Structure 1
Amino acid sequence: MKPTLLTRAVRLATLAAVAAPASVLAGGFSLNEQSASAMGVANAGAAANPENATTVFFNPAGMGQLNGTNISFGAAVLDIDAEAKGGSITSSNQIGQPVSGSRGGDIADPAFLPNAYLTHEISDSIDIGFGIHVPYGLAADYDDDFIGRFFADKTELKAIAFTPAISVNNGKGLSMGLGLNVLYVEGRLTKFLDNSGTLAQAPSGAVPGTPSQGYADIEGDDVAVTFQIGFLYELNDRTQFGLKAQTGTELELKGDATFTNVAVATPAGTPTPPGPGVAVAIDSTEPARVPLAIPESITAGIRHRLTDEFTVLAGATYSRWSRFESLDIYGRDSSKPLTGKNLGGMPGQLTHVPEEWSNTWQFNLGGIWQATPEWALKAGYAWDESPVDKYVTARIPSSDRHWLTLGAQWKSPQSGWTVDAAVGTLLFTDDPKVEDKPYVLTPGGTQPSPRDPNSSYSAEYDLQAWSAAIQISKAF
């Protein structure tokens, strides 16, 4: 990959934000951990509860209910334990022989997710804001001797968003906000390559020392924009409703595909030695692109103060993950040795992995107890639906989950400083069952690969996770 001056600058400016890739195994690759104050109630009613400057993310219309200048900054840690269960794993290579190796270890390292937000009141009816946050992320990394290494090794998606926003209000309880997310996204996909089929089928045998496996490493990045619009309506002094809609977008992660020790048979007319039909190992670096869809979403929320001490919140989010139909890698130069082979089925396609994700719902419910003027205690629950349905792969083993959270908030009435802390646990409803096979894309749709009918990997995964966040806010 040859980064431009712009991408170099963005990388330097956002190094802290993407240093540790985010990990998520439900809700697609969206991240819930954007604010400790909202996380304390599992993001319930966040579109209708503008507590601080984090409303730039949850609903820009909420800026109209903040006075003066407000800042919020913090970070979250998300740790998911994901590992294939012993005794559930089977794997075979291109010639139908068992693949030896380990279960792959815990594939998801802890992720550090920073955020910072600012709002400023321009006039009684106009507010502006800005946010920097990590809305999407995904990471999985297997041990090198993983038994399913011909289907997955490393999977990384790192994203950071720069979010300017503006809101207007009519002074009668109705606010509207507009914002955009400027997304910088990096991706990396690696896996080991099975040479057994080529070595076994080469008419003239193989050059001595040709390795039984190679390696593929694909990296790319892109910049894209999504838009958001929000509404907030104050029904009375105790109840208000919020709504936020966000557009989707299509990314084209462009970079290089680096192949090492890939076994190929020499074509007819090759001089002797090695002569035609001999299996040899080649290295090749080929320009590549990976299309990636970011879904549209719509979020609704309600906040209701039962008493001066107790507040209840509820919300729901619908995301159109059906945009993510497949994970494809395309070469951008058909003269390159592997791009020209159309390994993924269609012209220039190197790999085709069907995904066919489903649209999802997330439902949230939470409560706040204002125990003293300084201290508030929070609790929340969310049902988070997984979009992974028909094809469950080693790169993204996933299932539906319950999200249980607790939070505490301390606020100084004199200084305006506020500190929020929250912890959460993720309870997955099922142990996902991975069934990986090679596929190709044809004009008629996804089909099992005719070149490789024997390769497979299957396993059942055990998933556990927890998260924690802290946030500091100040009103000036």
Structure 2
Amino acid sequence: PTVSYRFNEQWGVGLGITYNRVDGELHRQVPVAVGQAANGAPIVTEVDSRVEGDDDAWGYNLGVIYQPVPETTFGLTYRSKVDFNLDGSFSASSPVLDQLGIGTVTDTAALDLTTPETVNFSITQQMSDNLKLMFGASWARWSRFDQILVTGTEREEITNEQQNYSNAWAFSTGGEYQLTPELALRAGVALDFTPTQDTTRSVRIPSDDRRIFSLGAGWSPTPDLTLDFAYSYLTERSTQVDQTKTDSFTVAGQQTPPITSTYSAGYKNEAHGFGAQLTYRF
């Protein structure tokens, strides 16, 4: 929920709180050496490794609007970072572990995750009685997302994957046409530059620069009430992921020999988004 107050014809402010919840799973096939063949080569099996966890946390939004003339509006919004401390469980299983009498390996799991704060700036220009154009720029402090580090009670590191995100910008432009006094139609496009680095981009989040195309509408059945709806199509630039990872595994208190594996693949991502908003004016 967000509450806004207009001081006069030029200035208005807003304040809101957000309730955020994360409920996720990390899943990976981990190569494990469980013995040696007669020629000395390691006998390798894959262990199905899963980490599950959840947490909820609070954040807040701050905003200000400045309207120097009736046709022009400037907006500035700050969305806070959100700190999550996920707690959950770790399990690893495979038929080979069952055959060795070890069974499923379990542990607790903990992950600290901070989603970035963002700053958004916008300009809205009323071109005519029915048409307005908008421009926006957004900055996100993605450098907070430096690693995925999952720890357990018996294992100092269950997962340690470096991400090394950098701060990123996004730019958008669009328009709104007031078709009738009650109905407004909207369209826009955005460029969202990736915070990922070529050297540390991983299969966990194989993303690259994004283009987002949006359509929307606002319906005001009464002067004080507005319902907004939006649809967005997101497409990402094709990207390449090349990873080399060395794994060892703790089984019955013993560390298995390290196994190095390589992975290479191309990715092309897309997504569809839907949004709705209710505004009531006091």
Distance change in 2, residues 1:315/1:328 (3 Å): same
Distance 1:458 1:280, change over 3 A: farther
Q: Deviations over 1:97-137 (max 9, x none)?
A: xxxxxxxxxxxxxxxxxxxxxxxxxxxxxxxxx2xxxxxxx
Aligned-partner Cα distance in 1 for 2:146–2:76: 28
Structure 1 partner of 2:262:
456
Deviation, 1:204, is 11
Q: What's the CA shift for 1:258?
A: 1.4
Determine whether 1:385 maps to 2:221.
no
Match of 2:14 in 1: 177
Q: Out of 175, 183, 196, which is 1:367 matched to? A: 175
Choose which of 239, 249, 268 in structure 2 pairs with 1:432: 239
203 and 286 in structure 1: CA distance in 2 versus 1, 3 angstrom threshold: farther
Counterpart of 2:141? 320
> Which structure's relative contact order is higher, taking Cα pairs within 8 Å and 6+ residues apart?
1
Which residue does the alignment assign to 1:406?
215
- Whichever residue aligns with residue 435 of structure 1, its letter is D
SS, match of residue 35 in structure 2 = helix
Moved more, 183-192 or 379-388: 183-192
1:125-184 deviation digits (Å, cap 9, x = unpaired): xxxxx2xxxxxxxxxxxxxxxxxxxxxxxxxxxxxxxxxx44444235222223332322
Match of 2:26 in 1: 189
2:272 maps to what in 1?
A: 466
State the Cα RMSD in Å: 3.2
Question: In the TM superposition, what is the alpha-carbon distance from 1:420 to its structure 2 partner?
Answer: 4.2
Point out where structure 2 has 5 or more consecutive residues left out of the alignment.
Answer: 248-256
Cross-structure match for 2:250: none
Q: Counterpart of 1:353? A: 161
CA drift at 1:200: 3.3
CA positional deviation for 1:201: 7.5
Name 1:198's counterpart in structure 2.
34
Name the % identity.
29
Structure 2: how far apart are the matches of 1:203 and 1:438?
25
**Residue 432 of structure 1: how far off its partner (Å):** 1.3
Distance 1:186 1:201, change over 3 A: farther
1:237 equivalenced with 2:42 (yes/no): no
Contact kept, 8 Å, 1:256 with 1:285, in 2: the verdict is: yes
> C-alpha deviations, 1:217-255, integer Å up to 9, x for none?
211122222232211112122211111112213322111
- 1:223 is aligned with what amino acid? D
Shift in CA distance, 308/404, structure 1 to aligned 2, threshold 3 Å: same
Could you say what secondary structure the match of 2:34 adopts? helix
Structure 1 residue 295 displacement after superposition: 0.7
Runs of 4+ in 1 over 4 A off after TM superposition: 201-206, 416-421, 468-476
Q: How many residues align?
A: 271
| SS of match in other structure, 2:265 | strand
Q: Give 1:469 deviation, angstroms.
A: 4.6
SS of equivalent residue, structure 2 residue 194 = coil
- The separation in 1 between residues aligned to 2:227 and 2:17, in whole angstroms, is 27
The unaligned stretches of length 5 or more in structure 1 are 1-129, 131-164, 265-278, 340-347, 441-449
Distance 1:369 1:306 in 2: 10
Distance 1:419 1:182 in 2: 21
Q: TM-score, normalised by structure 1?
A: 0.51
TM-score with structure 2 setting the length: 0.82
Partner letter of residue 269 of structure 2?
A: L
Please point out which of 100, 125, 142 is paired with 1:304. 125
